[in-house]
Structure 1
């Protein structure tokens, strides 16, 4: 399937709109100037060495060049085949809290970066399974459906930030429901969720969501990041304050995370020693009952088309440079009427 690796860069094609408007305006200006300068036969004679079609050709080549550069930037590619051993595994949804409370610095450099480092360490240990990613704050968002592409998982994890969640807040229940809905619902086994958060929940639906996970056979492992003492929340380069002007302190809610994991038969982990937590969770997931998976634990191969677009852009740019709008030979006028070019003639030539 043909797709763009960096689809967000396609917005750059919008630059063609103002360029088209400018080109149309330039053409109209040239026509207006020709009409204003006098007799049509004289204008034609004085501008006989100018080729208007070449000007249009140069602009068209420039537009195609810009289009090719943007397509190369967006990385048009076609999936070919997945590499890796076929075998058994489970479906694992990673759920990452990206609310602004995760920017608290009670763990260095902050909670979110520590959580992302943990997930990047966990992914290689469970790459023979299918992995997906959900991020959440006030609402939950599916960032990556289940895939055997471990490299893609790490890319999405690295890009996770509060900017991905336009609605701020903390809604663990919505995140768990979305993650469970993104898993295979045909059988009540072979699936797990790893939730990484500071545990602060501003919605009352987390426990009911965990009960739904248990009914669907989904095991929940919760990972708490932060400290019980808490830390201020950084917002717009300043600490967040409440309605009374007091600094808001965000604290790790370990009891809630323990309860949620216990409802599904999972386990709670405090993220202090990342390596220890990674090894323990990976062992738990790898010891679960498995099902046959296609191309699990591998990676996707792509046919990349950006070199083609770059080559076309370079060739067209060179053509545009060497195409002249005027003829090389000078206009030969009647010897009896030959005269020096006037200022008016120069204006006509440039028009």
Structure 2
């Protein structure tokens, strides 16, 4: 008597292909990001949706089991060929695999992979601020409504969001002090560093506030003209060094030191945790009594006066930042330049095409096999034999990516050469020429940079690109001392984009230069 075939091979195939799909996705992502560091996803926060598609495989396995049981009730294994001619267990399995992979490709396309293709120098005005965050064990005490460290991290995020245009860095300290995040205008990067802060990240416990202030001062850019501000968030129990002397040294060198007391005067016992991070009572002294941590406000006020700054004590769940912000508003600001991607190349089209091909194959696979080769077999052979150029990146795009990476590494000459090679391709010519001009301008070759921007203007009608090219032409003319050209191109940039503050700044500088040149010329004639 003929027996029913087992479902285990089909279920095993589904699980194996699901695992293979995820291995391919993860390996492909890590490989691509290592080769193209600027690669990212436009909808990065929605990546968990891709993971949820694994539930489709679980549902399909349940459907196969149900289907198999229903068919078993219709006829015996020997009679199934006459009741359902051509019945095969693996046919619905393969059709589902095509749909499953196509769904994954569609979601990847919706997540919108993109890579930076054009860099531009962005300028802002602000001060330099280094924040020292106490991560000692006492910062886990919950006498301010929540854990002191949690309140301190929230306060740093509020401070960063309230200081538009400033560069901000982060130092963490306990018994030692380390730079966790160097000075940056990228608040998203600062948030990532803040998320990873915890008391166990520094093996030497204690509260070396003075050492933290010294580390902050060493983290400033010595060549910057911006005012320097040190902000310390601590519970004030300094057991290691002289915080007042460290704050006074910063003030004598031209900076200021501000303190935020993250604790109460009454204090509270310091909680203890087991190896898994679970609460296990309170820390005790040699006599077995709980160790109480309270705010050393006297020392912090004295240190703030010595450091020429301000002092604020935290209330329940909140820290008032207005004293620091008001102090900062009166400081001298400097123009801060940073290079960032302002244009991205979206690479979702290959994923859409791959999904469409898989859906086509799934539709052409018959529900029951026939004796002659199917159209789906012919389509599959065609896809495997014919090379698809859509998945191969052109040399010009590769050169664009390599050029932007060289630009980020401050290899201006190499970047200019790579962008020049990419400019030979009509599809990337205008953007490549603009990038080449930026690289030449950064290298100090203003004549060649100006020529590259001229060629950009001749080859593109894109408004944003033309506005940027005119802006950089005005910058090149300023560096050459040609005030009239600088005024002309700054005005051209503003005609296209009236809201460009950098172009207005260049126009003002050019007019001031023109006025000085006219005055010098009149003086020579007299």
Q: TM-score range by the shorter chain?
A: 0.5 to 0.7
User: Is 2:337 aligned against 1:294?
Assistant: yes
CA shift at 1:158, angstroms? 3.1
Query: Match of 2:327?
Result: 284
Does the 8 Å contact 2:126/2:334 carry over to 1?
Answer: yes
> Displacement, 1:200?
0.8
Deviation at 1:285, TM superposition (A): 1.3
TM-score, normalization by structure 1:
0.62
Change (3 A) 1:284 1:62: closer
CA contact 1:126–1:285 (8 Å) conserved in 2: no
State the match for 1:244 in structure 2: 287
The aligned counterpart of 1:199 is 236
Per-residue CA shift, 1:234-268, capped at 9, x if unaligned? 12122111122111000011111111111121111
Q: What does the per-residue CA deviation read over 1:299-348, in whole Å, with 9 as the maximum and x for residues that have no partner?
A: 7669699989x99xx9xxxxxxxxxxxxxxxxxxxxxxxxxxxxxxxxxx
1:265 aligns to 2:314 (yes or no): no
* Change over 3 Å in CA distance of 1:182–1:306 after alignment to 2: farther
Matches within 5 A, 1:1-351: 67-71=27-31, 76-77=37-38, 81=119, 86-186=123-223, 190-236=227-273, 237=279, 238-272=281-315, 277-295=320-338
Distance 1:88 1:210 in 2: 26
Shift of the alpha carbon at 1:226? 0.9
Evaluate the alpha carbon distance shift between residue 273 and residue 249 of structure 1 in structure 2; reply closer, same or farther with a 3 A threshold: closer
User: Contact 2:234–2:260 (CA<8 Å) still a contact in 1?
Assistant: yes
Aligned length: 256
Q: 1:63 to 1:151 in 2, by over 3 A?
A: closer
Pick closer, same or farther for the CA change 1:76–1:186 going to 2, 3 Å.
closer
TM-score normalised per structure 2: 0.43
SS of the residue aligned with 1:202? coil
Q: CA deviation at 1:127?
A: 2.5
- 2:176 touches 2:211 (CA, 8 Å); kept in 1? yes
Shift of 1:282: 1.6
CA deviation map 1:271-303 (0-9, x unaligned): 22777722332221122111221159xx76696
Shift of residue 209 of structure 1?
A: 1.5
Question: Is contact 1:77–1:304 with CA below 8 Å preserved after alignment?
Answer: no
RCO greater where, 1 or 2, for CA within 8 Å and sep 6 or more?
A: 1
Structure 1 alignment gaps of length 5 or more: 1-60, 315-351
For structure 2, list consecutive stretches of 5 or more residues without a partner in the other structure: 1-20, 40-115, 274-278, 356-526
Deviates more, 1:75-84 or 1:170-179: 75-84
Displacement of 1:72 = 6.7
Q: Which has the higher strand share?
A: 1
User: How far apart, in 1, do the equivalents of 2:259 and 2:312 lie?
Assistant: 6
Task: Give the CA RMSD over aligned residues.
Answer: 3.9
Query: 1:65–1:87: structure 2 CA closer, same or farther, 3 Å change rule?
Result: closer
Higher helix share: 2
Summarize the Cα distance change of 1:62–1:285 in structure 2 as closer, same or farther, 3 Å threshold: closer
- Counterpart position of 2:362: none
Cα distance in 2 for residues equivalent to 1:166 and 1:305: 44
User: Alpha carbons of 1:235 and 1:276: their partners in 2 closer, same or farther (altered >3 Å)?
Assistant: closer
Q: Which stretch shifts more, 71-80 or 93-102? A: 71-80
Secondary structure at the counterpart of residue 320 of structure 2: helix
